[in-house]
Chain A
Amino acid sequence: MISNIINMADKTTDREDELLASMFAAKPVEDAGFSERVLQKLRIRLWVQRLTLPVAATIGFAVAINPLMDLLALMPSLASLVPARFAPDIGSMLPATQSIVVGGLLLIGGLGALQLLDD
């Protein structure tokens, strides 16, 4: 008798569950370009993330180049202030301004090329 009651309760619950499941059931949603839109946003985000560092570095370089040049131009005269026994030939140890600019550009170009290869 008890088991019959339990079985009836189970059957009621099953029936109720089935009805709830059928009510909650939804037709599959057509993709209709949704996936492609998400991927497009994702690709744009990735490009922005990848470009952020090189662009920031380039802007920083552009902002810093003039003060850097001024500083480099002052270096020989600053070097002359240092007693000869401490800095015998600082001027000759410093790289030429042109070399620094070319080196910086090569570094930025190299980073960009590496990212393109990575893509």
Chain B
Amino acid sequence: MTDDTLLVARVVASQDTGAYGELIRRHQSQIRNFLRRLTRDDALADDLSQDTFLHGWNKIHTYSGKGSFIGWLLKVAYTTFLQSKRKTDRYQEVLVEVGESGGSVSYATHSDEATDLDRFMAVLNGQERAVMVLSYACGLSHREISETTDLPAGTVKSIIHRAKDKIREQFDIQHHQHG
């Protein structure tokens, strides 16, 4: 059993908030970075991270111990992100229907201070973005990404391949520096 698994066992057995607090402290950085990469909005990402850990508390009994805890937590974060995005998309549709312009929340559509990475991300669709962030920012294997996103491993590979092709088409990766 890993340290994380022991803490999870304590949470499940006795609803130990102290143990869950330790899990939050260990993984908050990775979860917040993942959501910041997806949303490109730090405040929104932190709100979603908070929701992720609250959902995680309710669902922690479903963590079977197979695979890493952070992989499981990233899956909760990704689901939370998708649910929030769906709500925002519906809200935007309503705004368009009633003739108002300019949504209050944007998911990775523009930025005044666009870095190289922002420009890379802008050419990818939501699914490609998530898979690329899980692969290159979180360092997850294809199998772990497959479990996190509920996509078949073959599809994950082809999404990464397609995303890299898109980036290659638009940019000369070899000459880009860290952004």
Contacts and interface: CB of A to CB of B under 8 A. Distances in A.
A100 to B, nearest CB: 35
B178 A34 contact: no
Interface stretch (B31-39, B61-69, B71-79, B92-100): B31-39
Interface string B42-77: 000010011001100100000000000000000000
A11 to B, nearest CB: 12
Given A29-B33, A35-B21, A20 B28 contact: no
Interface of B: 15, 17, 20-21, 24-25, 28-29, 32-33, 36-37, 46, 49-50, 53-54, 57, 116-117, 120, 132-133, 136-137, 139, 164, 167, 173-174, 176, 178-179
Nearest to A36: B21
Contact of A22 (B20, B25, B132, B178): B178
A89 B130 CA distance: 75
Contacts of B133: 24
Given A19-B176, A20-B136, A25-B178, A35 B164 contact: no
Interface residues of A, number: 25
B80 to A, nearest CB: 13
A38 B28 CA distance: 10
A31 B176 contact: no
Interface in A15-42: 15-17, 19-26, 28-29, 31, 34-39, 41-42
A22 B139 CA distance: 11
Contacts of A69: none
B120 A23 contact: yes
A69 to B, nearest CB: 39
Contacts of A39: 17, 20-21, 24
A6 B136 CA distance: 23
Identify the 9 closest CB pairs spanning chains A and B, nearest first. A24-B136, A24-B137, A35-B24, A26-B33, A28-B29, A29-B29, A29-B32, A35-B25, A38-B53
Interface string A36-62: 111101110110000000000000000
Contacts of A25: 136-137, 178
Interface string A5-18: 00000000001110
